[in-house]
Amino acid sequence: MENDQKDNKDTKDVGKDKKDMSALEHNIKTKGANAYYYAHGRKYEQQGDTIEGKTIEGPGIITGGNPTLLEKKNIEVKPIIASKKFEKYSCYDDGDFFQVRVDLKIYFKDVSKITNDCIEANFEEKGMTIRVNEPDGEPHLLVVKKFFKNIEPEESKVKIAKEKLCISLKKAKTGEEWDKLNA
């Protein structure tokens, strides 16, 4: 009972001064270092003369004013050419290989410019990326992210024959039949 009266007395004393205090000051006075606003309760009083700021100038220091050109470079930017996709192709099972054929006449005006040097091939166990770079033209892609079954990348090949892109995918398991190219 004595503790309750003592707590009420402390609260009453705070209540008297509360009229002259802000909510922040009241919170700090009642809760001390555990107050929510404790970090904001510090007072920074300046003692003596006011200290004026100094402007420091020199190389590498930004002090305001108009921008200054430091260096000018002429950079040749090559435009990014979006690749077109080979969307029409035929494929069939051929024993130990799975064959894919793309008729290049559908995609290129002058097929005679397309040679084996224009082909970039990346074979992986589960997929492939074939890119045909037409000289002075747009690149074309055939991308398969997941084959129907796995292949042997080292033994798979691509070449151009009779105006067709011929892709031979070596099956990982011999004697396996493929019904389709994609999984």
Q: How many structural domains compose the chain?
A: 2
CATH number of the structural domain spanning residue 131 = 2.60.40.790
In order of 17, 46, 180, the CA distances from 38 in angstroms are 18, 20, 71
- Whether 9 is in a domain gets the answer yes
- Whether 22 is in a domain gets the answer yes
Q: For 103-131, b where at least 16 C-beta lie within 10 A, e where not — what string? A: ebeebbeebeebeeebbebebeeebbebb
- Whether 30 is in a domain gets the answer yes
- Whether 128 is in a domain gets the answer yes
- Whether 53 is in a domain gets the answer no
Which residue would you say has higher pLDDT here, 59 or 162?
Answer: 162
Residue carrying structure tokens 């997929």: 127
pLDDT above 70: residue 8 = no
**pTM for the structure as a whole:** 0.56
Confidence of residue 43 (pLDDT cuts 50, 70, 90): low
Same domain, 90 and 23: no
- Whether 94 is in a domain gets the answer yes
What tens digit of pLDDT does each residue of 89-143 get?
999 998 899 999 999 999 888 888 889 999 999 999 999 999 998 888 888 999 9
Q: What is the mean pLDDT of residues 166-178?
A: 91
- Whether 49 is in a domain gets the answer no
Q: Which domain holds residue 166?
A: 84-170
Q: Which of 110, 106, 104 is nearest to 130 (CA)?
A: 104
Same domain, 36 and 102: no
- The three-point CA angle 138-83-77 to 5° equals 70
- Whether 137 is in a domain gets the answer yes
